[in-house]
Amino acid sequence: MFYLKKLSICIGLFLISYSAHSQSSTTNNDLIEKIIENIAEQSDEKLDYSTLLDELDLLIQNPIDLNKTSSNDLSQLFILNQNQVTNFIKYRESTGTIFSLYELQLIPGFSEEIIRMIKPFVSLNHDTGNELANNPKAQHQLLLKTEKSLEEEKAYKSNNPQSKFLGSPWKLYSRYQYLSPKKKLTFGFTSEKDKGEPFFQGENSAGFDYYSGFLQYQAKGIIKQINIGDYQVKFGQGLNLWSGLSTGKSSLTTQNANKSQGIKSYKSTNENQFFRGASILLNPIKNAEIAFFASYLNKDASLNSDSIQTSVRSIVNTGFHRNINEFDKKHKLEETVLGSYLSLNLKKIELGISFLQSGYSLQIQPENKAFNHYRFNRRKNQNISITYQTQFRTIHLFGELAQSKSGGKAILQGANIQAHSRLNIELIYRKYDPDYHAFFSNSFAEQSQTQNEEGFYFGAEFHPISKWTIKAYYDQFKFPWLKYTANAPSNGHEYFSQLEFTPNSSTSIYFRYKQENKPVNDNSKILKGIAIQKKNQYRLHLSARLDDNWEIRNRIEIAQYKKDGVKESGYLIYQDIRYQFSEKPVAMNLRFAIFDTDSFNSRIYAYENDILYAYSVPAYYLQGSRLYFNFNWKINRNCKIYLKYAQTKYANLTKIGSGNSEITGNKKSEIKLLLKLRL
């Protein structure tokens, strides 16, 4: 009865919200939420979104001037596909200066929804469109962050010396960045101590557990860019080189073609997906770039203890060093990488070739399991790939072909077709051999690895009438060899559809249906066969800015799960309220959510607003409620404070979590604080 009352209240708020009149522009959060939430739903891994958030925030602070931007800059938005970028450039060349964003509706492929999405990241202001470019002074930025779970986890009071956490429950983080007046030189450092890791004691006598530094110099001559320290490389469609987050399947149904981003400084805290060393980018002739890079990095690894010769069972990517067990895996493996890429931007086609050679100090020897038959099991690997993209009338073709030292191949071929000014279609075929090995790949796929997969994707975006958008995709995939979760070759599919109504620039409501049919092992205790795990999700979401101060968001989502005849279901309902003071540089937002699912199988993900450069995408499952509160205060132009408090309370649990993370009681709370200084 208690939850039924809450359900009634939230539905009432949803209906009231929809009837509210909106007067102002939409916020920046809708797009960020869509991107990150969809990535989280596709992967059970804990991914690092901080680099993505950093790039989006930089665009918000320094929007792209549409009257001056190039095709390449627009492609970096990743909101627009290449057909939309091409159509925009043609329109600007034919008409001249663009005076209003609403003018973009005249361009094929640009709907009211697309304009609404890009609005926070673009500008038509010629004089002040880019604050950094017009600021002759150097910029220094310092971030100081801390966070803590308020309830004590089991590992802090454990009597087991191997598992007991050796440090405090406070997470500590700092980042400094310098930007020269003309943006030619950037350098900085990042340091982090995770919760439970020792600080200036024991194994971490030097202070933080993780240190990262970067320096980037950009010029306009033959030497175009130099990076020293930590950096990422993103090239082609990601079959060989994409050391970082890639968006994958999402509600951006026809924006799946990667656009090469080259080499960028690395500022995040993920301790694995980056290079540490030096790189140089050359521009020897017009429309040609060639890059060379080298990296040496220590990685965590689990060793095979029963081997005559020491070998690595698996590379550990958590980055946690909180107890003796985790310290025993720290920096056990040395990784050396040499690589290069060449890109040619010809008149009608862009071509690229990349080469990567990686070596390890120890033999990598996965467990002797059937699903590991094709896994990498040597000390050296080589990858080579060829990529291209071209535009033929209203068709954008893109693709990449790669091969690893094992002989395994990977291929991706896609086409984005502007079939009509209101209809855009995208087709993608990929085939990744079971013995294709690429440690720095991150391409379009159903799985997190570019290996053992073949599939065909069809996506569409249709704007039948003004203010309405229909999005859909269908992805059919198969796995030629066994997986960890499937003891036989298998196949599955995924379907997504969304109907969105945007009555004005500050209100959006959409209904979404998503179905996943994935092959997994059945529940047999003797000889496991393959069962189809089916999950249906239904979502109704509204976001509206009521005036210059108030913004609301509402969501109702239902999940249904079925496997081996067992059916589960659940729901999530939340209400967001945000308020920006008119005369004070203070903003606040609040969320209250209730959820009820049968188990973790029917979990529901929901993105949360957080402090700057932080992220939270919790999985809601079992029965309970969650509340969080954000507070931002801009003390002056150089100082800003961010604060977040969150608490999840379960209705029928006496302990939360398991193992070292177990908490006694039915609630879990956390607090985060960040100070941003700019000089």
Identify whether the C-beta of residue 538 lies closer than 8 Å to the C-beta of residue 504: no
Identify whether the C-beta of residue 544 lies closer than 8 Å to the C-beta of residue 552: yes
Phi/psi of residue 271, each to 5°? Answer: -90, 20
pLDDT-derived band at 42, boundaries 50, 70, 90: low
Phi/psi of residue 638, each to 5°? Answer: -110, 0
CA–CA separation, 42 vs 618, rounded Å? 13
Residue 141, pLDDT score: 92
CA–CA separation, 109 vs 623, rounded Å? 43
pLDDT-derived band at 41, boundaries 50, 70, 90: low
Lowest mean pLDDT among 11-15, 51-55, 223-227, 443-447: 11-15
Identify whether the C-beta of residue 510 lies closer than 8 Å to the C-beta of residue 499: yes
CA-based nearest residue to 313, from 302, 297, 322? 302
pLDDT at 132 over 50: no
First to last CA, the chain: 55
Higher pLDDT, 652 or 125: 652
pLDDT at 458 over 90: yes
CA-based nearest residue to 27, from 123, 119, 131, 104? 119
b (16+ CB within 10 A) / e for 436-475:
bbbbbbbbbbbeebbbbbbbebebbbbbeeeebbbbbbbb
pLDDT at 269 over 90: no
Query: Hey, CA dihedral for 111, 116, 121, 125, is it positive or negative?
Result: positive
Q: Tokens at residue 151, please?
A: 């309830």
Higher pLDDT, 5 or 511: 511
pLDDT at 398 over 70: yes
DSSP annotation of 242: B
Angle 363-369-375 from CA coordinates, rounded to 5°: 45
Phi/psi of residue 29, each to 5°? Answer: -80, -25
b (16+ CB within 10 A) / e for 152-180:
ebbbbeeeeeebbbbbbbebbbbbbbebe
Residue 177, pLDDT score: 93
pLDDT at 663 over 90: yes
Residue 50, pLDDT score: 67
Tell me the one-letter amino acid at 582.
Answer: S
b (16+ CB within 10 A) / e for 636-656:
eeeebebebebbbbbeebeeb
pLDDT digits (tens, 9 = 90+) for 351-389: 999 999 999 999 999 988 899 999 999 999 999 999 999
pLDDT at 673 over 90: yes
CA contacts within 13 A on the Cβ side of 322: 20
H-type helices in 62-192, by residue range? 71-75, 82-95, 112-118, 131-134
Average pLDDT over residues 213-221: 93
pLDDT-derived band at 578, boundaries 50, 70, 90: very high
Q: Tokens at residue 404, please?
A: 């690893």
Beta bridge partners of 309: none
> What pairing do the DSSP bridges indicate for beta strands 275-282 and 210-218?
unpaired
Q: Computed over its alpha carbons, how large is the radius of gyration of the chain?
A: 25
Q: Tokens at residue 586, please?
A: 């203070």
Q: Tokens at residue 264, please?
A: 């960028």
DSSP annotation of 152: P
Q: Where are the beta strands (DSSP E) in 180-287?
A: 185-193, 210-218, 223-234, 262-265, 275-282
237 CB burial (10 A radius; 0-12, 13-18, 19+): buried
Lowest mean pLDDT among 134-138, 249-253, 432-436: 134-138
Identify whether the C-beta of residue 472 lies closer than 8 Å to the C-beta of residue 460: yes
Element (H, E) at 54: helix 50-61
Higher pLDDT, 202 or 568: 568
pLDDT at 298 over 90: yes
- Could you tell me which residues come within 8 angstroms of residue 97 by beta carbon, excluding any fewer than 6 positions away? 67
pLDDT at 430 over 90: yes
Tokens 């203070």 label which residue?
586
pLDDT digits (tens, 9 = 90+) for 509-543: 999 999 999 999 988 877 778 899 999 999 999 99
Residue 364, pLDDT score: 92
Residue 609, pLDDT score: 84
CA–CA separation, 64 vs 436, rounded Å? 39
pLDDT at 410 over 80: yes
Average pLDDT over residues 316-331: 93
CA–CA separation, 422 vs 599, rounded Å? 42
Tokens 């094992």 label which residue?
406
CA–CA separation, 159 vs 145, rounded Å? 31
Residue 6, pLDDT score: 47
Q: How many residues does the chain have?
A: 679
> What pairing do the DSSP bridges indicate for beta strands 64-65 and 122-123?
parallel
CA–CA separation, 550 vs 552, rounded Å? 7
pLDDT at 121 over 70: yes
Phi/psi of residue 31, each to 5°? Answer: -65, -45
pLDDT at 436 over 90: yes
Tokens 């609301």 label which residue?
552
Beta bridge partners of 88: none
Tell me the one-letter amino acid at 659.
Answer: G
Q: Tokens at residue 632, please?
A: 């931002």
pLDDT digits (tens, 9 = 90+) for 610-653: 888 777 888 999 999 999 999 999 999 899 999 999 999 999 89
Distances (CA, A) of 382 to 281, 336, 354, 404: 21, 12, 11, 5
Average pLDDT over residues 302-319: 85
CA–CA separation, 432 vs 343, rounded Å? 23
Neighbours of 182 (CB within 10 A): 11
What percentage of the chain exceeds 70 in pLDDT? 90
When the pLDDT of each residue in the chain is averaged and rounded to a whole number, the result is 88
Beta bridge partners of 543: 508, 553
Identify whether the C-beta of residue 101 lies closer than 8 Å to the C-beta of residue 124: yes
Beta bridge partners of 507: 504, 544
Average pLDDT over residues 585-594: 95
392 CB burial (10 A radius; 0-12, 13-18, 19+): exposed
pLDDT at 56 over 80: no
Distances (CA, A) of 449 to 238, 314, 380, 444, 453: 11, 15, 19, 10, 9
CA–CA separation, 298 vs 19, rounded Å? 56
Average pLDDT over residues 156-174: 92
pLDDT at 7 over 60: no
542 CB burial (10 A radius; 0-12, 13-18, 19+): buried
